Amino acid sequence: MTFYQAMQLSANVMKPMIKNAENKKEKNKYIWAFILKNILCMLFCIVFVSTYTKIFGEENSVIGVCTVILILTFRFSNLNFNVKQSTLTLLGVFLIYLMGPLVVLMTNPFIGFIVNFICIITLVVSTCNDTKFSNHSTIVLCYILILGTSATTTESFIRRIYALICGGVLVSGIFYYKQRKNKYEKTFIDVLKEVSFADERTRWQIKLALGISGGMFLGTLLNIPRVIWIGFACLSYIQQKQETLQFRLKNRPLYILFGSVTFCITFLLIPEEYRMFLSLFGGIAIGFAATYQYQIMINCFGALLSAVPVLGIFGAVFWRIACNVFGAIFCFVYDKIYEKIYLKTSEEKTVNNAA
188-211: per-residue pLDDT in tens?
999 999 998 888 899 999 999 999
Q: Is the pLDDT of residue 304 over 70?
A: yes
pLDDT the model gives residue 8: 79
158-191: per-residue pLDDT in tens?
999 999 999 999 999 999 999 998 998 899 999 9
pLDDT the model gives residue 253: 94
Q: Please state the φ and ψ torsions of residue 129, each to the nearest 5 degrees.
A: -65, -35
At 270 the three-state DSSP class reads coil
Q: DSSP state, 226?
A: T
Q: Please state the φ and ψ torsions of residue 28, each to the nearest 5 degrees.
A: -65, -35
Exposed, middle or buried: residue 123 (CB in 10 Å: 0-12, 13-18, 19+)?
Answer: buried
137-158: per-residue pLDDT in tens?
899 999 999 998 888 888 999 9
Those residues whose C-beta lies under 8 Å from the C-beta of residue 73, and which sit 6 or more positions away, are 135, 138
Domain ranges of the chain: 1-56, 58-187, 223-355
pTM assigned to the model: 0.91
Exposed, middle or buried: residue 177 (CB in 10 Å: 0-12, 13-18, 19+)?
Answer: exposed
Mean pLDDT of the chain: 90
